[in-house]
């Protein structure tokens, strides 16, 4: 509760007002002294220190980086294809090898013996083929001989038939003539014009002619039967010879098939022998050595791992939200922690059609050249996919004056001078603003200054300025 009387309260208020007046007068004097000091300062140091930067096109926001691991573009597991003792292992981890270079050798003594045995069996089968072919030739000769005999027998039948027919016809004519003579003489004898003896003689000659005819017919029949029998025999011999030729030809075919099968066995044995020498399938470097000389290996035993480092492969997991910005053969920027300060260029070579159903990440394969094969496998790689859109000049927000201007530093002879320029602004984020128009790349602009600037202000570039 206030215990002051009205006169006391009035005197107290007047005292407070007087004290406030003195305070204001003191502040005014201090402000005038400060302005005077600043003016004196300006007159003594006219050049204003400024930080100057070069205008550069760049993305407004930092590109997303995806991490992956370097790997050779091709890898091969070198395995044994035959059983045997590993006689020589000629390379070690890290060694560079050329294409078809010998990497290891497996003992092949048994394989060499198998090849020689297969060749010997082939020679024996070749001899069998030649013997069978010779027998075929002999059988074909017999066929020709039988065919000639059959043709001769058939010609004999035709000739015999012709001869016999002529003899029978002659005998028949003789019978007719003698019968006619006998009839004529008998008629003359009956009429008394001729003798009975002549008639009897004519009849005797007629009977003899008939007998000769019957004999000729019987002889012809017998001779023809014999000729036909000979022809039949010749035909049988011919058929038998032809059948023998077919049998011998089948033997040749069987022997040839065996010889071809043996040739395949030789090829197989020689291939197995070639497997004893293990060669590099492509130029590369040895990644792992999984066996040693003297070890017994089986088909499928892994001996070495080989990688092709002429190119590297990097697999990264990309968000499905960024997938639309990625295309095959697109160039990407690759940085390796093992090579700080260096940047490499890769190419998108494969985009998986299948995203992970939980993380919604899509595997993307990047391939990059590896000159000199200086980059190894298993290194951490940081991949950024460049934007295909055009980028504008980006400056710090501190460089913008009165929301639409910027101070540009130009040269007037040897002197740096200021030019206030209106600019068109774009997007702003994280303390940076995009210049759509009004500032060209490589032009110099003021980032910050020690005091407010005017177009006619004298400036001096700080040590942090870009030239």
If asked whether residues 179 and 295 sit together in one domain, one would say no
Contact 288, 342 (CB under 8 A): no
Contact 291, 303 (CB under 8 A): yes
- On whether residue 28 sits in a domain, the answer given is no
Q: Rg of the chain over CA atoms, in angstroms?
A: 62
Rounded average pLDDT over 142-150? 81
Question: Residue 110 — pLDDT band, cuts 50, 70, 90?
Answer: low
Q: Cα–Cα distance between 29 and 386 in angstroms, integer?
A: 61
If asked whether residues 177 and 304 sit together in one domain, one would say no
Question: Tens of pLDDT along 32-91?
Answer: 444 344 444 444 457 888 898 988 888 776 677 899 999 999 999 999 988 889 999 999
Give the pLDDT confidence score for residue 194 in this predicted structure.
Answer: 60
Assign 3-state DSSP to the chain and report helix, strand, coil percentages, each to 5: 45, 30, 25
Residue bearing tokens 């089968």 = 125
> In the beta sheet, which residues pair with residue 296?
85
Query: Which CATH number does the domain housing residue 306 bear?
Result: 2.40.30.170
Question: Tens of pLDDT along 186-238?
Answer: 777 777 666 667 777 777 877 887 788 788 778 777 877 877 888 888 788 88
What rounded mean pLDDT belongs to the chain?
A: 81
Q: Cα–Cα distance between 370 and 334 in angstroms, integer?
A: 12
What proportion of the chain, given as a percentage, has pLDDT over 90? 31
Residue bearing tokens 């000739």 = 159
Give the pLDDT confidence score for residue 9 in this predicted structure.
Answer: 55
If asked whether residues 455 and 429 sit together in one domain, one would say yes
Domain stop point among 273, 302, 333:
273
If asked whether residues 89 and 193 sit together in one domain, one would say no
- A 10 A CB-CB count for 418 gives 20
Residue 455's domain comprises 48-62+390-461
Contact 47, 460 (CB under 8 A): yes
Give the pLDDT confidence score for residue 344 in this predicted structure.
Answer: 94
Question: Residue 104 — pLDDT band, cuts 50, 70, 90?
Answer: very high
- A 10 A CB-CB count for 41 gives 10
Question: Tens of pLDDT along 233-276?
Answer: 878 888 888 888 888 788 888 878 877 887 887 777 777 778 88
If asked whether residues 243 and 189 sit together in one domain, one would say yes
Say which residues have a Cβ less than 8 Å from residue 298's Cβ, sequence separation at least 6. 80, 83
If asked whether residues 246 and 120 sit together in one domain, one would say yes
Position with higher pLDDT, 13 vs 24: 13
């Amino acid at each position: 509760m206030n215990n002051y009387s009205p006169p006391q309260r009035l005197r107290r208020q007047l005292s407070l007002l007087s004290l406030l007046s003195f305070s204001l007068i003191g502040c005014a004097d201090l402000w005038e002294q400060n302005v005077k000091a600043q003016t004196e300062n300006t007159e003594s140091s006219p050049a204003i220190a400024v930080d100057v930067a070069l205008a550069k096109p760049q993305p407004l926001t930092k590109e997303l980086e995806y991490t992956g691991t370097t790997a050779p573009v091709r890898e091969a597991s070198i395995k044994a294809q035959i059983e045997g003792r590993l006689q020589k292992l000629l390379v070690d981890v890290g060694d560079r090898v050329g294409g078809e270079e010998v990497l290891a050798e497996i003992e092949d003594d048994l394989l060499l013996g198998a090849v020689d045995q297969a060749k010997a069996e082939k020679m024996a089968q070749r001899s069998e083929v030649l013997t069978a072919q010779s027998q075929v030739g002999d059988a074909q000769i017999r066929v020709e001989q039988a065919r000639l005999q059959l043709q001769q027998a058939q010609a004999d039948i035709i000739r015999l038939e012709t001869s016999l027919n002529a003899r029978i016809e002659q005998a028949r004519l003789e019978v007719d003539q003698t019968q006619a003579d006998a009839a004529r003489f008998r008629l003359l004898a009956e009429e008394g014009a001729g003798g009975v003896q002549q008639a009897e003689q004519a009849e005797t000659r007629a009977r003899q002619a008939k007998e000769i005819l019957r004999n000729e017919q019987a002889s012809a029949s017998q001779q023809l039967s014999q000729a036909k029998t000979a022809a039949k025999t010749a035909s049988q011999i011919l058929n038998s010879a032809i059948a023998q030729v077919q049998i011998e030809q089948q033997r040749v075919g069987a022997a040839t098939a065996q010889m071809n099968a043996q040739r395949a066995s030789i090829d197989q044995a020689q291939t197995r022998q070639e497997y004893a020498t293990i060669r590099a399938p492509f130029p590369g470097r040895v990644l792992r050595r999984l066996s040693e000389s003297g070890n017994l290996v089986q088909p499928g035993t892994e001996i070495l791992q080989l990688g092709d480092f002429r190119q590297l492969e990097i697999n990264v997991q990309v968000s499905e939200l960024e997938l639309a910005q990625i295309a095959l053969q697109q160039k990407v920027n690759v940085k390796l922690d093992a090579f700080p300060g260096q940047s490499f260029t890769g190419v998108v070579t494969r985009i998986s059609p299948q995203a992970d159903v939980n993380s919604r990440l899509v595997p993307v394969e990047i391939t990059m050249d590896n000159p000199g094969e200086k980059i190894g496998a298993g290194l951490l790689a940081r991949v950024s996919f460049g934007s295909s859109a055009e980028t504008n000049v980006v400056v710090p927000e501190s460089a913008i004056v009165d929301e639409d201007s910027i101070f540009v530093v130009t040269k007037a002879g040897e002197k740096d001078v200021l030019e206030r320029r209106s600019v068109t602004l774009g997007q702003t984020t994280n303390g940076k603003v995009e210049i759509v128009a009004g500032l060209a790349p490589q032009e110099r602009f003021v980032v910050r200054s020690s005091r407010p600037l005017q177009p006619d202000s004298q400036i001096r570039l700080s040590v942090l300025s870009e030239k």
